[in-house]
Copies of this chain bind each other. A is one copy, B any other.
């Protein structure tokens, strides 16, 4: 049984490593001939919107999933015409447009920062007048890792932000004083069963996730319940199958949704060692109609991204409880090349090991 994955990056690679033990084989579609997932399955090199490549990719597959959210919705819908595709292409459509996404959250009662559409310079002025400063101007489409965003702290920032981002559809959001970033990861099975991993605490630098802690410390049952209620509403509204991540801000005890990713997520990599069942395996179990695996954490975990350049593997692996995951990518500034999971049964032990690994990662990067 061969599963197709649109995208051949590290997420596809980790899906395959989790899926081979379930008896699956994998085929990836990716424009890059050296895509990381090539080490764990067959790679079809081609553009995501090339009908001939899509046809070669789809031939003989059991089902299709994707590992990034900018898959052309048209391509996903075309594939879904002949094969089971999970998560549903409708989830892609929502997540690809920040305005549609925020409106969707709001409609479901999922709390979000105040937002308004910005289509031209005039509507930027009107929206700023309504939301006030500071505010965040974002492109509606194709933003990731902090790209396509500008913070406007005062009227003086308007011109440069407009010069950088104007000309495409935008969204203006009220700037939320963020105590910390949390993400919630959940999986929904074909029969509607939902399992929600414990909240994860994320630390970003320049819009790129650097490291995470899971379960997030200091999360009371109310916050976890709010997160679970948010993600359940989204999963059900989309009749979703697979893993979904929602990135949130914690602000004065409130939880505000920022954006969602209809796929396995960087902040969930700790689940490979740190949860009874990883996000990758649960995504596949869901898509194949198998029972979901337990999402219970095993002790305390942290995940540290390796960005730009790799530290020496021997240095990382000398840390007890450290697990190295390399993606087979050429070093380049800002590029995610791998990650380290740290796991310990004791929270203090974990914290003691985390500092040195974050340090190793940032010195190398």
A positions within 8 Å CB-CB of B: 13, 17, 20-23, 25, 39-40, 276-277, 285, 289-291, 293-294, 298-299, 313-314, 317-318, 320-321, 323-326, 328, 338, 343, 345
A20 to B39 alpha-carbon distance, docked (Å): 7
What would 23 A/B residue contacts be, using CB atoms closer than 8 Å? A13-B20, A17-B17, A17-B20, A17-B21, A20-B39, A20-B40, A21-B323, A21-B325, A22-B326, A23-B313, A23-B326, A277-B323, A290-B313, A290-B317, A291-B314, A291-B317, A291-B318, A293-B317, A293-B323, A294-B320, A294-B321, A298-B298, A298-B345
A40 to B39 alpha-carbon distance, docked (Å): 7
Q: Which residue of B lies closest to A320 (CB)?
A: B294
Question: Which one, B277, B294, B314, contacts A290 given CB within 8 A?
Answer: B314
Which residues on B sit within 8 Å (CB–CB) of A326?
A: 21-23
A325 to B320 alpha-carbon distance, docked (Å): 26
A20 to B298 alpha-carbon distance, docked (Å): 23
Q: Are A328 and B13 in contact (CB under 8 A)?
A: no
Which residues on B sit within 8 Å (CB–CB) of A320?
A: 276, 294
Q: Which residue of B lies closest to A339 (CB)?
A: B21
Q: Are B343 and A276 in contact (CB under 8 A)?
A: yes
A314 to B17 alpha-carbon distance, docked (Å): 20
A21 to B323 alpha-carbon distance, docked (Å): 9
| Distance in Å: Cβ of A257 to nearest Cβ of chain B | 30
A323 to B320 alpha-carbon distance, docked (Å): 24
Which residues on B sit within 8 Å (CB–CB) of A22?
A: 313, 324, 326
Instruction: Give 17 A-B pairs besides A23-B313, A40-B40 with Cβ atoms closer than 8 angstroms.
Output: A13-B20, A17-B17, A17-B21, A20-B40, A21-B323, A21-B325, A22-B313, A22-B326, A25-B328, A276-B321, A277-B323, A285-B317, A289-B314, A290-B317, A293-B323, A298-B299, A298-B345
| Distance in Å: Cβ of A23 to nearest Cβ of chain B | 4
Which residues on B sit within 8 Å (CB–CB) of A290?
A: 313-314, 317
A338 to B277 alpha-carbon distance, docked (Å): 18
Q: Which residue of B lies closest to A21 (CB)?
A: B325
Question: Which one, B21, B289, B314, contacts A324 given CB within 8 A?
Answer: B21
Which residues on B sit within 8 Å (CB–CB) of A299?
A: 298
A318 to B22 alpha-carbon distance, docked (Å): 14
Which residues on B sit within 8 Å (CB–CB) of A289?
A: 314
